[in-house]
Structure 1
Amino acid sequence: MAIHSRLSELDEASMSDAQHEVLSEILSGPRGNLDGPFLAWIHSPQLANHAQRLGAFCRYATGLELRLSELAILVTAVWWKSQAEWQIHAPIAEKAGLSSQTIEALHLEQTPDFIKADEQLIYRFTRALYETRRVDDVLYAEAVAMFGESVVVELVGVLGYYALVAMTLNTFAVRRDSETALPFAEPTPTA
């Protein structure tokens, strides 16, 4: 599916050596495409290089099950109203085992009726961090008890990384070329 944005289009002939290097690394890695924020980040190859490595870890190598990291990503997409982030990750989340009811509730900005305690905890942790910019002692202790300290650190990394992704996608109006309506209403421009 094609991706487009408000950025100037890059063609391989006009790309710098640094851009070619990072493009090659991205295309040969687990993603295999220049999807999502990479379309923007490739304009700054040093940022792209560091961000794609962090992203590969956050997406493919944390101690979180894919179902749980995708839940955290979807909560982030809703928080930031990130069109492409939702378009890319909602199908991945469902394939990873997140129920369609949970995904729809998130999309409607409703608290899902979680059956699994780990999903409910990821949701509560993520919402608390975004809403209050803190995680209280009780919630922190619950998360460490369920996932372990290193996975809680990784969860915060996933949230920070995907907030960066959402800001990038929103700033540069990155969209999937799709016949369906955008997942979120676009805000009215401010003066």
Structure 2
Amino acid sequence: MTLRSRLPELDDATMSAEQRRVLDDILSGPRGNLDGPFLAWVHSPQLADHAQRLGAFCRYHTSLPLRLTELAILTTAAWWKSQAEWQIHAPIALKAGLSESVVEALREGRQPTFERSDEVIVHRLASVLYQHRRVDQATYDRAVEAFGEEAVVELVGVLGYYALVAMTLNVFEVRRGDEPLPFDEP
């Protein structure tokens, strides 16, 4: 997949030793590619180094099932109207078990009709947090009861990390080839 952004391309002639090290770490990790924000982050090796480790945890190692992590990611991508984040994660979410109707409702900015109560809780917590920058006690209690404190902490981490991803992708206009954009550009 060809990626492009506002930032200049790095190549062996222009890349610093630190950028090369981080690039090699990313490419040899579970992702195996520079898809998403890494195309931008590699321009700041220290940020890339820390962010890619946090991202690996948020994507692959939380106590939440992948279906719920991907729901949190798509809720974030829809909130930020993050083109590449959506393009990357919508297929993963579908494969992980989110329904097509939920994915499409999120993309269109509509309230999804969920068939699973755990999805209602994740979406509610994410939506309330994004809209109000706080989470009311009832929403918090319902999430802790359903998932436990550790998983709720991890869920908030996923939301925060993928908000950083969305902002990075939006600011640097990271695009995946010539795929149609899922959201209208402002």
Normalized against structure 1, the TM-score is what?
0.96
- The residue aligned with 1:46 is 46
Deviations 1:66-109 (A, max 9, x none): 00000000010010010000000000100111011110111111
Quote the residue 2:167 is aligned against.
167
CA distance in 2, matches of 1:35, 1:172: 13
How is 1:18-29 mapped onto 2 (pairs within 5 angstroms)? 18-29=18-29
Q: Partner of 1:127 in structure 2?
A: 127
Q: Distance in 1 between matches of 2:12 and 2:126?
A: 39
Identical-pair percentage: 68
Instruction: Report the equivalent of 1:183.
Output: 182
Q: How many angstroms does 1:12 deviate by?
A: 2.0
What displacement does 1:15 show? 0.9
Residue 93 (str. 1) matches residue 93 (str. 2): yes
Which secondary structure state, in structure 1, belongs to the residue aligned with residue 98 of structure 2?
Answer: coil
CA separation in 1, counterparts of 2:12 and 2:123? 41
Q: How does 1:76-87 map to 2 (within 5 A)?
A: 76-87=76-87
- What amino acid is the match of 1:70? E
Q: How far did 1:164 drift?
A: 0.2
Q: Paired residues, what number?
A: 186
TM-score, normalised on structure 2? Answer: 0.98
| C-alpha separation in 1, matches of 2:4 and 2:61 | 28
Alpha-carbon distance in 2 for matches of 1:91, 1:183: 12
Secondary structure class of the residue paired with 1:54: helix
The residue aligned with 1:158 is 158
Per-residue displacement from partner, 1:151-186 (whole Å, max 9, x unpaired)? Answer: 0000000000000000000000001112x4211111
| Stretches of 4+ aligned residues off by more than 4 angstroms | none
Give me the whole-angstrom Cα distance separating, in 2, the residues matched to 1:97 and 1:181: 23
Distance in 1, matches of 2:50 and 2:21, equals 12
Paired with 1:100 and 1:28, the residues of 2 have a C-alpha distance of 32
Paired residues for 1:46-65 under 5 Å? 46-65=46-65
Q: List per-residue Cα deviations over 1:10-35 (Å, max 9, x = no partner).
A: 00232111111111110110000011
Gaps of 5+ in 2: none
Structure 1 stretches lacking a partner, 5+ long? none
Separation in 2, partners of 1:15, 1:175? 21
